Amino acid sequence: MSYKIGIDLGGTKTSVAVIDASGQIVFSQRASTPSHNYAEILRTIGSLVETAMAAGDFGRLDKIGVGIPGALESDGTTVKNANTQILIGKSLKTDLEDQLGKQVHIANDATCFVASEAADGAGKGFASVFGVIMGTGVGGGIAVNGSPIMGENRIAGEWGHNPFPFYGAPPLERDCYCGKKDCIELVLSGPAISRDYLELTGKSLTVDAIVTQAEAGDLAAERVLSQLSTNLAKGLSTVINLLDPAVIVLGGGLSNIDRLYAEVPDRWGQYVFNASAKPAAITTKLVRNRWGDDSGVRGAAWLT
């Protein structure tokens, strides 16, 4: 039996997994991401890999895949575009290779996610898949005929830093860490939903708590979540115009919000390019991921 090993370096959690040739996870472990300390991030990855290597007879595992909330510069080692901003400008690939003694393959976490879901997850069998991670930040990835597309600048699918469309006037002019204003990430991420609820009520709640509050009849929570559905419909309509994917797979913490799967496709028809005497329904499917938090780490392992 041959095995592969992957790391998913997330904004809040870092995971390691060993998968067998059929894609089954045979070992996994998770730790908090020390997101403000680069040396600690390296140490966390090192100790997860050490634990995984000691957990079974997996062979040498000379290569490791690492999914990151960002991408590599054209030099192939330095990180750019990372929501975990401490990573930006760091030589993550060479630092990890020195530390782990393995060949390190780094890919964007949303690319890893879409690779996993397109291969044997919720996007399996579809010719074109757009994968979205809506969590601490917003990332996107594209797979065609089961294979992810990296892109010329390694940013294929990075829809989270397009300007949010159909804002209505005036634009809010919120600053994003990427240097632009009013990015989609500032509207559709977990922190954005908590901020919207805080602005309405003065109360700080997690997204999960806002969902619970809405179910209990809290009108402000209901308003924030309904607006999220409308905003996601607006955002994804631009993806449909550009890629017209067969299926869009949602991942990340916000993918656990059940109502999105009915409300968003109901609403995106208003925003998709569809000027017709008899407008046909938009048949793109919106589905929840199959592999949950494991998708990123599975995809990372597979990409080695």
Let me know: does 215 contact 209? Beta carbons within 8 Å.
no
- The CA dihedral of 275, 280, 284, 286, to the nearest 10 degrees, is 100
Of 129 and 178, which has the nearer Cβ to Zn ion?
Answer: 178
For 12: left if phi > 0, alpha if psi spans -120 to 50, otherwise beta; the answer is: alpha
Nearest-angstrom CA–CA distance, 84 and 33: 10
Of 123 and 160, which has the nearer Cβ to Zn ion?
Answer: 160
Residue 53 in contact with Zn ion, rule: CB under 5 A: no
Entry field: residues in the chain: 304
Q: How far is the CB of 188 from Zn ion (least distance, A)?
A: 12
Residue 233 in contact with Zn ion, rule: CB under 5 A: no
Residue 41 in contact with Zn ion, rule: CB under 5 A: no
Of 85 and 94, which has the nearer Cβ to Zn ion?
Answer: 85
Q: How far is the CB of 11 from Zn ion (least distance, A)?
A: 14
Residue 176 in contact with Zn ion, rule: CB under 5 A: yes
Joined together, the tokens standing for residue 252 give 């990340």
Of 176 and 200, which has the nearer Cβ to Zn ion?
Answer: 176
Q: How far is the CB of 137 from Zn ion (least distance, A)?
A: 9
Let me know: does 84 contact 69? Beta carbons within 8 Å.
yes
The CA distances from residue 36 to 31, 33, 40, 47, 230, in Å, are 15, 9, 8, 18, 33
Of 90 and 180, which has the nearer Cβ to Zn ion?
Answer: 180
CA 193 from chain centre, in angstroms, equals 16
Q: How far is the CB of 80 from Zn ion (least distance, A)?
A: 12
Other residues' Cβ atoms within 10 Å of the Cβ of residue 144: 14
Of 165 and 269, which has the nearer Cβ to Zn ion?
Answer: 165
Residue 221 in contact with Zn ion, rule: CB under 5 A: no
Residue numbers 135-174 binding Zn ion by CB under 5 A? 161
Q: How far is the CB of 162 from Zn ion (least distance, A)?
A: 9
Q: How far is the CB of 180 from Zn ion (least distance, A)?
A: 5
Of 86 and 176, which has the nearer Cβ to Zn ion?
Answer: 176
Q: How far is the CB of 177 from Zn ion (least distance, A)?
A: 7
Residue 188 in contact with Zn ion, rule: CB under 5 A: no
Query: Total binding residues for Zn ion by CB under 5 A?
Result: 5
Residue 183 in contact with Zn ion, rule: CB under 5 A: yes
Pairing of strands 103-108, 79-80: unpaired
Helix (H) / strand (E) element for 71: namely strand 71-72
Pairing of strands 128-134, 138-144: antiparallel
Site residues for Zn ion per CB under 5 A: 161, 176, 178, 180, 183
